[in-house]
Amino acid sequence: MNWKLFLDNELFPPDTSWLIARSVDEAMVLISQQGYPAEMSLDYDLGENKPTGFDFLKRIADDVLNAWPNLNFPLVMLDSHTSDTEGRCRILGLWKSFQNKLARNKEWAAPSNNIVSTAKYGQPSSNQQSCPRLVVAIASRALFDLDESHQIFEEQGAGAYARYQVEHEEMPLAPGVAFPLVRKLLALNTGEQRRVEVTLISRNSADTGLRIFNSIRHHGLDITRAAFTRGESPYRYIESFGAHLFLSASQEDVEKALDAGIAAATIMPSAAGEGRDGQLRIAFDGDAVLFSDEAERVFAESGLDAFNRNEVDAKDKPLPGGPFKPFLAALHTIQSDFDPEHSPIRTALVTARGAPAHERVIRTLRSWGIRIDEALFLGGMDKGVFLKSFGADIFFDDQRKHCESAAGYVATGHVPYGVKNS
């Protein structure tokens, strides 16, 4: 049924075409009676100690994904009309994550831009801070060099590790592999334009994590949010923070984030320093990173000749998006703030593909409306030296052999996704 839901404990919708729910329970009753709505406008705070608009949306997303694809889910338009900026960001961040999960499901054939986030019924006031367009969650071992203290943990246990961190909490940690990347990401925030937010995710306790926050302050990083989970996997908080990207030294946590529909990579040990000048340069592999592993499966099962024939035959059919498509799209929205010749971000596709398999890639990116500044079709050549020439601050690839080659030159994230990691 084509109907519209307005969830708010006090306000009224702009016209009588909306059905009003004053609580999450009332909204769920309406859905049980009417089916899923075609449009939703959500407040965040629905009363003291009451479930929020975010809680409602999380319940909807979980119900849909648990029943998928045996469910008729309409192309919903979403608005968050709340005056609570943080609440609005949480709602829209969850909605984007939900969209990404649906878009990655091959049973869902509709284009992803038919499910959109709008603010046509409740624009934030001019003095509100806008939601960051890119949220990056980063583990403490990716941000800082914790090798020495981690060795103590491995060899002497959690108690010795905790004592060591407390004893050294006034001693700043040295930068880790992803530190230069984070510094450049945060530099994209200028004045009141908060384009990027970086959130710390850590298996430390809050007590041992004090050294990490002290190190953040020492290095002048604008990171104010964190989740400390005292030995447990922190991945469950990544979606709540609305993250587009998660970087960690733990492959287990990365795999869980990928399963949740969030771009994620395991940071590999690297001696690489900061990339060139102040420009942020990010490089991506294609198949199983920006794109799905659909074509890579053909290669794995039938070889190069069959792969090339398949790609030539399907050159006009865009490749499905992979786990890093939403992250690339978020970078693209920030790039659109700047003249292309003076953009602080530069992206590159660095793929083992060569002609004739190149054309489908180019046409796919064109169909997405996403800009890639440089594209290297290497036809199987080693990627490391090319990444050094590009000056990448980080490179993402699904194949460990390519990651090991790249890590000798640039910071590298392994994406444990797709047929090469099954």
Chain center to CA of 422: 22
Residue of 347, 344, 300 whose CA lies nearest to 325: 347
Q: Is 393 assigned a catalytic role?
A: no
Q: Which residue has the tokens 């499910």?
A: 115
> What is the DSSP track for 88-155?
HHHHHHHHHHHHHHHHT-TT--S-GGGSEEE-TT-PPPTTSPPPPSEEEEEEHHHHB--HHHHHHHHH
Output the CA torsion 60→62→64→68 (10° steps): 180
Rounded CA-CA distance 71/397 in Å is 34
Q: Is 58 helix (H, G, I), strand (E, B) or coil?
A: helix
Which of 43, 285, 397, 398 is an active site residue? 285
Rounded CA-CA distance 175/232 in Å is 24
Rounded to 5°, the CA angle 261-265-268 comes to 170
Rounded CA-CA distance 147/165 in Å is 12
Contact present, 66 and 30 (Cβ < 8 Å): no
- The one-letter code for the residue type at 147 is D
Contact present, 244 and 327 (Cβ < 8 Å): yes
Rounded CA-CA distance 241/255 in Å is 18
Active site residues: 285
